[in-house]
Every structure is written in C-alpha cells, then in structure tokens.
Amino acid sequence: MHPRPDGVDDATVEAVGKLSAAFEVIENARGMLYAFHRMSGEADLALQDALSSLRAAGHTALADEVDEVLVGRDVVRDMWTFQIVEAYDEQYHRVFRDVNAAVADRLLGTRGHVFESEMKTQEQRGEHDGSPDGPDPGD
C-alpha cells in the first residue's frame, strides 16, 4: 500500500498521478528508443553479412560501393543510435524522472503511486464507477 498522507486532498493526489502517468509514457518511449537502437545495430550486422555474400558471389565492386555509403553510417547527423539513446537519457529522461520523483516527494512525501494504490483498493472493494477515467480517488 501507498497510503495517502494526512491532509493531502483529492486534487493533489490526482495531479501527482497524472504526472506519474506522463512519466510512464516517457518510459515506454525510452523502451522504443532502445528497440530502435538494437534494431538498427542488427540491420547493420545483417547488411555486412549481405555484403560478404555479394563479394562471395563475385560482386565485389557493388559490395564495395554499398559498403562505402552504408556501413558505419551515422543514423542522424554525427550520431549513431547509442548516442541518441545516451542524449535522450541525459537530456530528457533523467530530468523527467527526477522531476516526477521530486513532485511526488514534495506533495505526497513519497515516490510511490498513491493514486494507483487508491484505485486498486477501490476496485478490489467493488467501488469502481465504470467510467473510462477510473474511480475518483476521493470517493
């Protein structure tokens, strides 16, 4: 359980919950960015394998042309995918994570999921209203 601290109103719990939900979207985006990084690396290795096959099939000049323009190429100006991931982590994800934690700590005295914890309790008690937004944590 992540109990609501004494004196904290519904609007505060809801606002912190929304910030936490926004951060969860950022976490998902970060995962997709890591998937992009991995897939780009796998494609580069597969490309190099294809070029070896082209050379083995006697198409050395063509393989060399493709190698020259694609192997080791930056995916965006001056950056490989690992650099994009690092920049995202340092410039955005880490800051968002820290802000999310600081707001929860300042307003709720915790880094936990008070809003979600109250939703869990209400739903398990059968106190949900069936609305797409979920139950009101103050009910």
pLDDT in tens, 5-22: 788 888 998 999 999 999
Question: What per-residue confidence (pLDDT) applies to 88?
Answer: 98
Question: What per-residue confidence (pLDDT) applies to 117?
Answer: 66
Structure token digits, residue 124: 């398990």
Average pLDDT, integer, range 56-84? 97
In this prediction, residue 139 has a pLDDT band, given cuts at 50, 70 and 90, of very low
Question: What per-residue confidence (pLDDT) applies to 5?
Answer: 76
In this prediction, residue 47 has a pLDDT band, given cuts at 50, 70 and 90, of very high
Q: Which residues of 17-48 are buried (b: 16+ CB within 10 A; e: fewer)?
A: bebbeebeeeeeebeebeeebeeeeeebeeee
- Averaged confidence pLDDT in the chain: 88
Question: What per-residue confidence (pLDDT) applies to 120?
Answer: 79
* pLDDT at 113 > cutoff 80: no
* pLDDT at 95 > cutoff 70: yes
User: Rg of the chain's alpha carbons, rounded to an integer?
Assistant: 24
* pLDDT at 99 > cutoff 50: yes
Structure token digits, residue 30: 């970060």
Higher pLDDT, 21 or 3: 21
Euclidean distance between CA atoms 34 and 62, whole angstroms: 32
